[in-house]
Amino acid sequence: MTAVSNDTDTAVVTPLTDIDAAAADLLREALAEALSAHRHVVVDLHAAAHIDSAGLSLLVRAYNDAKGRGGTLSLAAPSRYVITVLHTMKLHQVFPMYPDVETAVRTV
């Protein structure tokens, strides 16, 4: 469901499915684990074509948790659909977004 790879100060969390209510619990656990061990977290969305309100809520909470700990939460490789949803909800102004994981990790 979710893969996590670790760098020294950055974790990459990769949901292997759409980010929806069905996937929320597993992704929540992966993000909590990544945020507890790393200052920066990149969510690699290359395999998540869609996102729903539960997924958006989860990402916003994780972003706030990261910020509260002095870290960051960034999105890498979001689909056109995910970008559209983020723009519609005005969340594109909140999340740093990158075209791929390498750029996100290098930038954080």
Residue 49 lies in a domain: yes
pTM value?
0.92
Query: CA 55, 29, 18, 59 torsion: positive or negative?
Result: positive
Give the 3-state secondary structure of residue 93: helix
Tens digit of pLDDT per residue, the chain (108 long)? 445 565 568 999 999 999 999 999 999 999 999 999 999 999 999 999 999 999 999 999 999 999 999 999 999 999 999 999 999 999 999 999 999 999 999 998
Residue 42 lies in a domain: yes
Residue 72 lies in a domain: yes
Residue 99 lies in a domain: yes
Domain total for the chain?
Answer: 1
Which range marks the domain in which residue 99 is found? 2-103
Report the candidate in 24, 28, 33, 27 with the shortest Cα–Cα distance to residue 6: 33
Residue 108 lies in a domain: no
